[in-house]
Copies of this chain bind each other. A is one copy, B any other.
Amino acid sequence: MDKIIESLKFDDKGLMPAVVQDWKDNVVLMVAYMNKEAVKRTLETKKATFWSRSRQSFWVKGESSGNIQELKEFYYDCDADCILLKVNQIGDAACHTGYRSCFFTKVKSALDTEIVGERLFDPDKVYRK
């Protein structure tokens, strides 16, 4: 484990981006950030675990919503500075807004965007206050 983690090149904040892809159809669900410990926890627990830059804490994806991501495959790139996870997305939707993918905003033209896909859950119901 340490051998693999030591070969990864984290940035000056100790982080690197991780692309999360649905292992069933290769849809890109989200991008989040990992530090060494998040990589370790993800590989050990087989649940995608990130470092939340806004909350400055570890974040097991799906902890609140139940929509966890079971790790199927773990890759890193030719520069060893980016990770790709293939996951089994429980509950289908990865995005906290209720969309399947965080990439639901498509640039349609120079001035216009459109929303693609549909909400799979209502965030107000899932993330209770």
Which A residues are closer than 8 A to B by beta carbons? Answer: 1, 3-4, 17, 19, 21, 25-28, 30-31, 43, 73-80, 82, 84, 95-97, 99, 102-107, 110-111, 113, 116
Contacts and interface: CB of A to CB of B under 8 A. Distances in A.
Contacts of A1: 110-111
A107 B26 contact: no
A77 B67 CA distance: 18
B21 A28 contact: yes
A78 B93 CA distance: 13
A90 B19 CA distance: 23
Nearest to A1: B110
A96 B75 CA distance: 17
A38 B42 CA distance: 33
Contacts of A28: 19, 21, 26, 28, 84
Nearest to A19: B19
